[in-house]
A = this chain, B = another copy of it.
Amino acid sequence: MIGSVTVVGLGPGDEALITPEVTCALAVATDVVGYIPYVARIPSRDGLTLHASDNRVELERATHALEMAAEGRRVVVVSSGDPGVFAMASAVFEAVEHTPRFASINIRVMPGITAMLAAAARVGAPLGHDFCAINLSDNLKPWEIVERRLRLAAQADFAMAFYNPRSASRPHQFARALDILREECEATRLVIFARAVATPEEDINIVTLAEARAEMADMRTVVLVGNAATRRIGPYAYTPRRAG
């Protein structure tokens, strides 16, 4: 018997943001695999084994999931947000590419509410026009690529969402990212720091680019940057549908 790997997104935190499709997949799983804080969100039950692993071992975790599926188990790999956005879905396919015997395993990806869209909804509609999503971590790419991409995105007048803006091991790069934005954009550009969206620790801060400081972000923050037309209206921030 061949099992399956289902890669699901748990959304940003609130259980009310988990799709019924994902809830059903979890209900029939034999094994749940994921990063410790995400696996901690899954209630234990008879017949379900929880496999929590540390951060930065995505490929090992994906391989473990595929190995269990090859033994006939129904494995669910959990990510926060959407599994296809800077999360486990790519790691699973990388593991398949590295190990040909996994090619026959049934893999399914189930989308989820990704952090940038939960954050955008919280403040209004700052991503209401063309936008981009950039992972600011240079764990998996040279920082030069991040800088170049940031500059081109600003020149294209995309609204932007930054994932993984800043961590204890990378405290200085987000400051550099803000410097690049200051070179390319006006000082009144809106910057939204959305920390721990849809959790009890949620904290949202809307400032201008002139006011933005790197210390306003940590690894639980998604940062949204408006385009040239993004504006405040009362407590909300939104980007008009019209441009040009």
Contacts and interface: CB of A to CB of B under 8 A. Distances in A.
Contact of A19 (B18, B107, B131, B240): B18
A43 interface: no
Interface residues of A, number: 74
B18 A14 contact: no
Contacts of A134: 130
Determine chain A's interface SS by DSSP, over half rule: mixed
B234 A121 contact: no
Contact of A16 (B24, B113, B243, B244): B24
Interface string A144-167: 110011001101111000000000
Contacts of A122: 109
Contact of A121 (B89, B124, B142, B238): B89
Interface stretch (A26-34, A91-99, A202-210): A91-99
The 9 A-B pairs at the shortest CB distance, nearest first, are namely A90-B128, A89-B125, A132-B132, A93-B238, A152-B156, A16-B21, A109-B121, A141-B243, A111-B121
